A and B are shown apart, each in its own frame.
Chain A
Amino acid sequence: MSSAGKPSVLVQGTLDMLILKTLALEPMHGYGIGARIEQISKGVFQVNAGSLFPAFRRLERDGLIRAEWRSTENNRQAKYYALTPQGRAKLKRATREWETQTAAISSILDASLGELS
C-alpha cells in the first residue's frame, strides 16, 4: 500500500469487510461509515460515494446489514446501518480469511534464499 500519503486504491473485495467492521463497533449512517474508514486508516483509504452506496445496497440485499431511519444528534433523519447476526458471522469469517492470506503473503514477501535451503 502506498506510503506517499496519497489515498490508496482498495484491494478488491475488502470494502465490504471494512464496512462490516465499522458497523461492528456501532450502527452508523453512510457518511459516518466513509468518514470512519478514512479516519481509522489515517487517510490511506478514501471511499467515494460511488463505491459506498452500491456496497450498502449489496450488503443489505444479502441480509448482512439492516437499515433503519433514525434521528441524528442534530435532529435530522438519517439512514443508519447495523450488523445482522449473519453479518457478524460473515465478518468473523472474512477477518480470519484475511489474516491467513496476509500472513501467507507477508511470509512470501519476506522470504530469503537462506531460509529456504
Chain B
Amino acid sequence: MKLTSRLAGGLRALFHRNQVEAELDDELREFLQRTIERNISRGMDVEEATRAARIEIGSIDVVKEQVRDVGWESRLEAFWRDIRYAIRTLFRAKGLTVTVVLTLALGIGANAAIFSVVRGVLLRPLVNRDEDRLIYIRQTAPGISSENMTFSVAEIGDFKSRVRSFNAFGEFSTVDFTVIGLGPEPRVVKAGVVNGSFFEVMGLRPVVGRLFNTQDDGPKAASVVVLTHRFWTTQFNSDPTVIGRTLRVASHPATVIGVLEPSVPYPTATEIMANMVTSPHHMEATMQTFRTHRMTELFGRLAPGAKLETARSELAAVHADMMREHPEAYSAGNVELRVTRLRDQIAGPARTVLLLLLAAAVVVFVIACSNVANLILARSVRRERELAVRASLGAGRRALRRTLLAESLVLCTAGAVLGVLLAEPFVALVGRYAGRFSIRALDVTLDASVLWVGAGFALVAAVLLAYVPRLPSTSSPAGLGLATGGVRITAGTNRKLRAFAMSQIACSFVLLAGAGTLVATLVKLQTTNTGYNTRNVLVFDIPTPAPNVARDAPSDFHQQVTRRVGELPGVEGVARAEFTPWRDAGSWPAMPITVEGYTPAAGEETYAQPRFVSANFFSLLGVPLLAGQEFTEADRLSKEPVAIVSQSLAQRMFPSRDVLNRHMSVKWPIGEPTSYRIVGVAADVDDMNVRPQPGLTIYTLGGGSRLFVRAAGDPHSLVPKVTRVIREIAANQAVEHAATLEDIRAEMLSPDRLNAFVFSGFAGIALLIAVVGVAGVLAFLVSARTREFGVRLAIGSSPRLLLAGVLRDGMRIAVVGVAVGVTGGYAVVVAAQRLFGSVQLPGILPVIAAAAVLIGAAIVASLIPAARASRVDVLQALRSE
C-alpha cells in the first residue's frame, strides 16, 4: 500500500511535473499570503508585514527543493542530470572518449563473443529428447594408443543380452557408399549405417517422412535411407517430394523414407543414414560372427530409474566378463570401457581450448580496464581544479563520486554497446574456429545472453573506474588546487598510474608468451620433414567399384587405371594405396605380429600398423628404401605374400640387421595368421601425424582405393584429365577429394594455424593497448613535470640527460611488468597443470621473444614523451605556473 502510493506519487511528479509544481507554487503562495495577513492583523503595515513574512518563511526555492527531495523521483532526476552533464563534458574530451570507448569495446566484445561460444558449446543442451539420459559407450586400448576401438556385432550382442540399465542400444558405423541418382555424376556419400532402434535411443524425430524402426532390421528388410537435415537442404533444396525416391546405393536400390531433424552429428557427420541391409559389408558373415571385427559405435538410453553411475558399473562388469570369456579378443593394450553422457563427450575436446580462449579474453578485458583506468586517472588529475571548485561550492563527496560514476557509466555503456555490436562478427569467427574441436560450435549464434554479459562487464568496469580517481578531500585544504591551477601529481596517483601500466605489461606478456609458444609449434610443424615428397603428388579417392560399375574385375580395373593415367602427358608416375597419408591412414588398427627368430619376452606383444600399397608406391612418394627393393609387378603376379617393413620395425625386431628374406606373420582379425617374406626396409614416415614419430609399420601389397599421381608440372591441372580417363574406363566410377599431399598437410595443420592466429590476435590487441597505456602514462608524467624539466634545463642539465631519464622510467615500468608477468604466468601454468594435467610450459625462446618485444615496445612508447621532455622550452615552462 505504502509502496504503491509512493510509486504513484513519484510517477505523477515525473510525468505531470508542471501540474505538481504549479500546485506547490499555489500552496506556498497561499501560505505566504496568510502569514502576511496574520502580520497585518498584528498591526504591521502591508510592506512591513510582507517583509516579515518572507523572513519568517525563508527562501521559497529552498522550501520547494526540500519538498521535491522527499520523493525517490528526485534522485532519479539528479542521476539523469549527472548523466547529461557527463555526456556534455565527455563530448568536449573527444580523443579520450574515443580511445576509452574503443578499448572497452574490444575488451567487452571479445568477452561477449567467447562467452556465447562457451555457452553454446559447453552448456547448451542437445536437441535430442531427454538428452541427459543419452549415453555414449566407447572401448579404448590405451596400451596401443587406440583411442576408439569401436565394437563388434558379437560384443554388442553380449551387452544387449546382459545389461539391464538400458532399454535399447543404438548402433552406428560409417561407410562410404557410391550413390547414383543424386545428380548427373555418381557421388561418394558418407553414410551412417544404423540399427532400427538407433533413432529411438538418440531421441531424434523426422522433419519429413519417418525414421527407422525395428522393422527395418534384419537381412530380409528393404533397403531404406534417411537424409540428414544438412544434406537435404543443400542437396535437395529442402524438397519434401524427395521422400519415396529410389537411389542406387552401393549398386542396390534404396528408398528415401525421411529426413532427420537438425541435430549434432556424433561421432561423425554423415550425409545419409542407411539401415543395416543397405550395406553389403554389414551383412557378411565375418561382420556378424568375428568378435574382433569392430567398426560400430554404441549409444544407449538410460532405462527409467537407471542412473549413469549404475549403468557404468553394470557395463564395466559385463565387459569384464566378456574379456574373461574371450581373452584372445582383448589381448592388446589393456582394453577398457568409457561411459559418458553424449553431451559431455561432444563438448570434451573443445573444453580446454574454449577455457583458454576465455582466459585470454578475460586478460584482454583486464588490460583494457587497466588502460582505461589510467586514462581516467590522468584525466581526473587534470580535472582536480574543477572538482575542487565544485567541492568548495558545496558538492559533497557523494555528489562528486556520483558525477564520476555517471561519467564512467556513460563511457562503459558506449563501450558495451559497441562491444556487443562487435561481438556478432567475433562470434562467427570464434565459432568457425571452435568448430574444429566441437561440431556444436558451428551453429552457435549471438543470443540475448550476450547483452547481459556486455552489461555486466560494463557495470563492473564503470564501478571500478569511478573509484580510481582521488577526490579532493574535504579536510585537506581544497584551496591548493584552486590557487595554483597547475597539474600536481601526488605520490599516490603516481604509484597508481605506474601500477596500472605495469599490470598491462604483465598481462600482455602472458598473452604474448602464450601466442609465441603456439607460433613456435606451428613453425616447427610446418618445417618438419615428413619423409614424403609432398610437392607434386596428387591423391584421388577412387572407391573400389561395385561389380556392375566397372566392366572388369576390381584388380583389372585398377591395372587399367594405373596404365591409362600413367600414359597421360605431364604424369611422371602412378601408384595406389588403401590410405591417404594424414587424412585416414590410421583407420586400420595396429595388428599383432610375430617375427621368425625373435622370441618375445613373457607377455610381450608387438603390434604394427598395416598399410596396403601398390608397386612403385615408395619411389613415387619419395620414401627411400634402406635395404632391398620395393614391390614390383612380378611380386603381385607371383601371389607369394611379401612385405616391406619400416626402419623402426626392422631395428626393433631384427637386431642382427639381417632383415631381407626373413619371414614375419601378421595376425589379421579374420582367419589364420599370414606369413610374409620381407623384401625391403623403408625409411620411417609418419602418415598418421604431421608430427613424425617413429612407428612400426608393415607394408603389404593390395588395395587401390587411393590413386597417387606424380605430376611433372602443375599438379592441379591434371585433376580433370585424370578424372576423365577414369570415367572412360568406368562411367559410374566416383573420383573424389583430389588434393596434393601438400594440401592435405596444410589441411591437417589448420587447427594449429588457427590456434596461433587467434591467440596472436589476442596478444596483438593486448600489446597495442599496453603500448598506448605506457605511452599515455609517460606522456602524462612528463607534461606534469614540465616545470621541473624547465628548471633543470635552466640550471644547466643537458637535454640528453632528461631524455635518458624518461626512457629509464619507461624501461623500469616494462621490466617490472615483465617480471610480474613471468612469475604470474608461471604460477598460472603450474595451477593449470594441476587442474588439467596436460598443460606445457612455454619454451624459453617464446618467453625471451615476448619479453624483448614488450621492452622494445615500451622503449618506442617512451621515445615521444622523452623527446618532448628534452625539448621543453625553459621560459615557457617557468612561466607555466
Contacts and interface: CB of A to CB of B under 8 A. Distances in A.
A76 B36 CA distance: 15
B6 A49 contact: no
A57 B70 CA distance: 7
Interface string B10-50: 10000000000001101110110111001000000000000
B70 A54 contact: yes
Residue of B5, B23, B26, B58 with most partner-chain A CB within 10 A: B5
A61 B34 CA distance: 25
A92 B63 CA distance: 29
A53 B31 CA distance: 10
Contacts of B27: 30, 53, 78-79
A100 B70 CA distance: 29
Given A49-B31, A54-B70, A61-B70, A86 B1 contact: yes
Contacts of A35: 38
A60 interface: yes
Interface in B789-839: none
A78 B30 CA distance: 7
Contact of A79 (B5, B23, B63): B23
B490 interface: no
B624 interface: no
B2 A49 contact: no
Interface string A48-70: 11100110111011110000000
Contact of A54 (B10, B33, B57, B66): B66
Interface band, chain A: 20 to 34
Interface in A79-113: 79, 86
B485 interface: no
Contacts of B67: 53-54, 56-57
A48 B26 contact: no
Contacts of B6: 61-62
A58 B67 CA distance: 8
Given A50-B58, A62-B6, A63-B5, A31 B34 contact: yes
A50 B60 CA distance: 9
Contact of A53 (B2, B5, B35, B63): B63
Contacts of A86: 1
A49 B24 CA distance: 12
B5 A61 contact: yes
Contact of B57 (A49, A58, A61, A79): A49
Contacts of B9: 60-61
A117 to B, nearest CB: 48
Contacts of B447: none
A76 B26 CA distance: 11
Contact of B35 (A31, A63, A76): A31
B325 interface: no
Contacts of A50: 58, 62-63, 66
B71 interface: yes
A63 B2 contact: yes
B239 interface: no
A77 B27 CA distance: 9
Contacts of B5: 61-63
A29 interface: yes
Nearest to B27: A79
Nearest to B9: A61
Contacts of B35: 31
B59 to A, nearest CB: 9
Nearest to A56: B67
A62 B56 CA distance: 28
Nearest to A86: B1
B70 A58 contact: yes
A45 to B, nearest CB: 15
Interface residues of B, number: 27
Contacts of B70: 54, 57-58, 61
B71 A49 contact: no
B71 A76 contact: no
A53 B28 contact: yes
A70 to B, nearest CB: 11
Given A60-B9, A86-B1, A48 B57 contact: yes
Nearest to B57: A49
B58 A48 contact: yes
A44 to B, nearest CB: 17
B69 interface: yes
Nearest to A31: B34
B26 A77 contact: yes
Interface in B401-420: none
Contacts of A58: 70
Contact of A31 (B1, B31, B66, B69): B31
B31 to A, nearest CB: 5
A79 to B, nearest CB: 5
A36 B71 CA distance: 27
B69 A48 contact: no
Contacts of A57: 67, 70-71
Contacts of B71: 57, 61
Contacts of B57: 48-49
Interface string A14-58: 000000000000000111000100000000000011100110111
A56 B20 CA distance: 14
Contacts of B34: 31
A50 B66 CA distance: 7
Interface in B63-105: 63, 66-67, 69-71
A62 B1 CA distance: 8
A79 B6 CA distance: 20
A35 B39 CA distance: 13
Nearest to A29: B30
B823 to A, nearest CB: 57
Contacts of B26: 77, 79
A58 B69 CA distance: 10
A29 B29 CA distance: 12
A79 B58 contact: no
A54 B71 CA distance: 10
A50 B65 CA distance: 9
B28 A76 contact: no
Contacts of B33: 76
A60 B235 CA distance: 72
Contacts of B2: 62-63
Contacts of B10: 61
Nearest to A57: B70
Contacts of A31: 30-31, 34-35
Contacts of A48: 56-58
B100 to A, nearest CB: 40
A50 B23 CA distance: 16
A79 B69 contact: no
A54 B384 CA distance: 35
A63 B28 contact: no
A4 B855 CA distance: 79
A61 to B, nearest CB: 4
Closest 4 CB pairs of A and B: A63-B5, A31-B34, A57-B70, A61-B9
Interface of B: 1-2, 5-6, 9-10, 23-24, 26-28, 30-31, 33-35, 38, 56-58, 62-63, 66-67, 69-71
Given A31-B35, A48-B58, 12 more contacts: A49-B57, A50-B66, A54-B70, A57-B71, A58-B70, A61-B9, A62-B2, A62-B6, A63-B1, A63-B2, A77-B26, A79-B26
30 contacts: A29-B30, A30-B27, A30-B31, A31-B31, A31-B35, A49-B28, A49-B57, A49-B63, A50-B62, A50-B66, A53-B28, A53-B63, A53-B67, A54-B69, A54-B70, A56-B67, A57-B71, A60-B9, A61-B6, A61-B10, A61-B71, A62-B2, A62-B5, A63-B2, A76-B30, A76-B33, A78-B27, A79-B23, A79-B26, A79-B30
